Structure 1
Amino acid sequence: MLTRGVLLGDRYRLGERVATGGMGAVWRGTDVLLEREVAVKVLLPSLVADPEFTARFRAEARMLAALRHPGVVPVHDVGQAALGDGSQVDYLVMEYVEGEPLSARVRAVGRLDPATTMSVLAQAADALHTAHLAGIVHRDVKPGNLLVKADGSVVLVDFGIARSRDMAGLTAANMVLGTASYMSPEQATGQPVSAATDIYALGAVAYFCLAGQPPFHGDNPLAVALRHAQEDPAALPADTPPAVAAVVARALAKRPEDRFGSAAELAAAAADARDATLASIPVSARPPWALAAPAPSAVPASVPPIAAASVPPVAAASAPQIAAASAPQVAA
C-alpha cells in the first residue's frame, strides 16, 4: 500500500499525495540520492497489470525524458518497485512544478483579457510543438494541465502516457483519453488523433480563458464530447478583438485539416494577435505583465509571462471528465 514515507526503487521517498485521477496518483516526493524535490506519478494497479500498457508507458517516458523545452515538465526517471505487500507499482518521476493551474487562475478572476490569453496560447503551443516534433501527442490539453509558475511562465504537464498517433479515442477498457470540455471532434468520435488534436484543445482552452467557461456544456461528459463534433460554440464576448477571435476559431475548426498546420504556426498566430491587441489599447489598459514592456511595435517575439487583468467576472464551469473512474486526470 502506498503511504507517506514509502521508498520506491530505493530512491524516491513519497511525501503527500497531491492529485488522484483515472490513471493513478501523483505524490510530492524526494529523490534521496540527489536530495531534490520531485513529483512521482504512480499508475493504477489495473493498468500495471496490462503488459502492453506498461510497455507503452515506459517507451513514452523515454521519449518525454528526451524533450528539452522550458514549457514541458522534465521527466527524470521511470521504474517499477515492489511494495511491502508483494504488489508491484510502475512510476514516473518528474520535476515538481510549483505553480497554479490555469483553471484556478481563471476561476479567481472570472476570465482573462485577450492579450494575456494569447500569451498563454502562444507559450503552450510552442511547448507542444517540441513534443509533436518528437512524435508525441498530449491528448489531454486543458487548463488544469497548464501550470503558471511564480515568474509567470506556463508549463504543460501530464502528457499522455501512450504514443497516440495511431490510437483511437477509446481504449480497450472503454476509457476516453481526454477531458470532455476540451476534446477534439476526432477524439469524441473515436478517430485517430494527431498534432491537430492538441491544437483544437488549445483553442478550447483559449475560449475558456476569454469566456470564463468551456465552449460546450452538457448533462454528462459524453454529451459534451459529442457537441464538439456536431455543434459550433457560442460567440466569444463582444469585447474580443477580431484577430484574437480568428485565432480561436481556426484552432477550433471541426476538421483537423482546417486548423493551423502545426502548433508552431498557432504559436506565431497567437503572438501576432497578442501584439496587435497590445498595440490597439492605451498603456493604462494593458495587462499587468505588459505594463513594463517596450512600445508595442518593439514587443519581442518571445512570449511574455501571463497575469490576470481586470475584466468582468464570468462564472466558470467545471470541466467534466471521461474516464473509467470518472475522476480528474492526474497532473504533476
Structure 2
Amino acid sequence: MTDEQGQQTRTTQTTPNAGAAQRVIAGRYALMGELGRGGMGVVWRAEDTVIGRHVAVKELRLPEGAEDAGVFQERVLREVRTGGRLNDPAVVTVYDVVTDADTTYIVMELVEAPTLSDLVRRNGPLAPHQVAMVGDQVLSALRAAHQAGIVHRDVKPGNIMVTSTGRVKLTDFGIAQAVDDPRLTTSGMLVGSPAFMAPERVAGREAMPASDLWALGATLYFAVEGTVAFERSSTAATLHAIMNEVPYLTHAQGPLASAIMGLLISTPEARITAEQAGGLLSMAAGQHGQSTPSGGMPTSVYPGQQPPPPQTMVAGHVMSGPAPAGPGSKAKRNGLLIGGVLAAVALLAAGTFLGKWIFGPAVDDAMKPTMTYGASGADIPSFETSSNGCLNVPLEQGRSIVSNNWIECDGSHDSEYFESVVVFYNSRASSDTAKAAYPDPARLRVFAESACSMAFHSEKVPAQKRAGLSYQALIPYKDAWEARGDNANDLTRRVYCMLSDRGGGQLDGLNWTQVR
C-alpha cells in the first residue's frame, strides 16, 4: 500500500521478521515485527516487557543529506517530548523516547487501524458526514497542539488513522518540526509532504498554526473527493499548483464544502480559524440522515463509493441544483465567478439560521454600514442585477438600483460588486416546505458582514489596494426575502458585497479587478 506521496505506509498487518523479534530496544521494548515504513523511518510492533503491553515503536531515520546526527536526536527528543504532553483523544499518545546505538526510537500507543489514505485508496471517497466527523476530531487534536505552542507541520491522510468505530488518531506530532532545521540539511529542503504543504510554507515562511489548518483542508478534500487536490506529475508542478490554483469540489456541499474551501484560502491571515472550521464541521457531521441518496448511505467509516447527486458550485461551496446568476457573473470578471473561493458561508437549514454559530461581529475601519435591499421600506428599495459588475451611481439611502446602472468596470464607476454569498437555497422550490422564515435581522447582518469582511481581506482584493477602499454588505429586506418574484421557483436568497472608494470618489477600474 502506498500513501499520497508514494511512500509505503503503516498497515494493520504485522510482517513476520525473525531477526526483528529478537531485538530489544533500550533493554525494554522487544520488537515483534514490522508494521510499515515511510520517509521518516520504520514502525514496529513491539512489547513493553516491563508492563506487558503492546506498543508501536518508530525507528527514526536521519533525513537524507543531514550532516549532524546529534542535532537530529536533540531536536527529536525535545519536540516529541513536547508533543507527548498533549492530552486529546485524537492524538496518538507518546509513551517514551529513547536512544539506542545512536538511533532514536519513539514509543507510542499502538493503534491498529488503517490510515485515511489507505481507506480512500481502497474504498473510494468517504461520505460527507463521515469526512466531517474525521475532520472535527483531527481539528480537536490540532487545537490542543496549537494551544500548547506546537505546530504539527505534516498533517496528511497518511498520518491520520481511522478505526472501524470512527475514532480518529493523528500521529507524528513534533517529528516534522524536529527535522526542519537548517543544521540538518545541505539543501535547505522543506520538510513535509509537498501536496499538503500550505502556500506560505512554499513561499518560505515559517510554519504556523494556520499552516496545519490548510493541510487539514487539503486532507479533507482528499477524503471527500478521492483525489489529492494539488498533486501533479512533479514536485515543482505540485508546488506551483498550491501557489496558483483553486480546486473545485464535486462530492461536498453546504458547511463541509465551506469548511474545506475556507481552510484552503491561500493567505493565512484570511483563512478561517479553527473555531470557524469547527462550527462548520460540526454542522456537516450532524447532517447525516437529513437527505439520503437512493439506496441509502452506509454508516461505516469504510463505505463503498457512492455516486454523488448533480451539484453546482455556489459562492465557494457546492449546492444541488442550478447556480443562480449574480451581478458581474461574466467569465471575464476576474475572481467573480459564482464558484469563487469564499469560506464565510453558512446555511439556513430547517428554517433555523446558523450563521451565529460560526461568526461574531466583524467590523473594521474599511467597512461601511450594512444596507438592506429589495423592497419598499428597504435602504435600497429596488436592487436589479446585471451581467456587468460595476455601478455608475453611489449606493445611497433611498436610491434604487436598476439594470441600466450596471456598467463595465473598465472606466470610472462609483461602486463595484466583488462577492455574493448564498444564505438560503432549496432545490425543492415548488414545494411550500421549501420556504424559510426570515432570519433575525441582527444575525443576518453579522453573517453578511463577516462574509464580506473575509472576502475583502483575502486575496480577492489585492492587499496593496485595500487602504484606499471601503466595502459594505447588502442584505435582503424582509419583504424581499419572502417574495418569490417573477420566478416562483426561485428561492435563492443571498447577500452582496460591494467595494467603493474610501474617500468618496470614483473607482478607476484598476483598484482590484485588473491588479493581480
Establish whether TM, by shorter chain, passes 0.5: yes
Q: CA deviation at 1:22?
A: 2.5
Does residue 245 in structure 1 map to residue 261 in structure 2?
no
CA shift digits 1:120-172 (9 cap, x unpaired): 111111111111111111111111111112322011112232547x979x955
CA distance in 2, matches of 1:254, 1:64: 27
- Cα gap change, 1:260 to 1:9, in 2 (>3 Å): same
Structure 1 stretch 138-147 or stretch 103-112: which is displaced more? 103-112
Structure 1 stretch 59-68 or stretch 49-58: which is displaced more? 49-58
SS at match of 1:78: strand
CA distance in 2, matches of 1:287, 1:150: 13
SS at match of 1:200: helix
Q: CA deviation at 1:282?
A: 7.6
- Cα gap change, 1:167 to 1:252, in 2 (>3 Å): farther
Does residue 14 in structure 1 map to residue 23 in structure 2?
no
CA distance in 1, matches of 2:218, 2:181: 21
- Cα gap change, 1:23 to 1:266, in 2 (>3 Å): same
1:1-332 counterparts in 2 under 5 A? 3-45=20-62, 49-82=68-101, 88-161=102-175, 163=177, 172-233=186-247, 235-237=248-250, 239-262=251-274, 264-276=275-287, 278-281=289-292, 285-288=296-299, 306-308=301-303, 310-312=305-307
- Cα gap change, 1:246 to 1:162, in 2 (>3 Å): closer
CA distance in 1, matches of 2:280, 2:231: 28
SS at match of 2:58: strand
| Amino acid across the alignment from 2:264 | L
Q: Is the 8 A contact 1:14 1:29 kept in 2?
A: yes
CA distance in 2, matches of 1:140, 1:100: 18
Which of structures 1 and 2 has the bigger CA Rg? 2
CA shift digits 1:81-127 (9 cap, x unpaired): 13xxxxx2111111111101111211222212211111111111111
SS at match of 2:269: helix
CA distance in 1, matches of 2:256, 2:94: 33
- Cα gap change, 1:66 to 1:32, in 2 (>3 Å): same
Instruction: State how many pairs are aligned.
Output: 286
SS at match of 1:60: helix
| Amino acid across the alignment from 2:257 | A
Match of 1:85 in 2: none
| Amino acid across the alignment from 1:214 | V
Structure 1 stretch 276-285 or stretch 26-35: which is displaced more? 276-285
Structure richer in helix, relative to its length: 1
CA shift digits 1:43-98 (9 cap, x unpaired): 2256694322222111112212211111100000111113xxxxx21111111111
CA distance in 1, matches of 2:70, 2:103: 13
CA distance in 2, matches of 1:161, 1:217: 23
- Structure 1's unaligned 5+ residue stretches are 83-87, 290-305, 314-332
Q: CA deviation at 1:260?
A: 2.0
- Cα gap change, 1:45 to 1:107, in 2 (>3 Å): closer
- Cα gap change, 1:256 to 1:278, in 2 (>3 Å): farther
- Sequence identity percentage: 36
SS at match of 1:288: coil
TM normalised by structure 2 equals: 0.51
CA distance in 2, matches of 1:110, 1:307: 9
CA distance in 2, matches of 1:50, 1:276: 50
TM normalised by structure 1 equals: 0.78
Q: Is the 8 A contact 2:67 2:186 kept in 1?
A: no
| Amino acid across the alignment from 2:269 | E
CA distance in 1, matches of 2:148, 2:163: 25
Q: CA deviation at 1:12?
A: 0.8
SS at match of 1:210: helix
- Cα gap change, 1:312 to 1:160, in 2 (>3 Å): farther
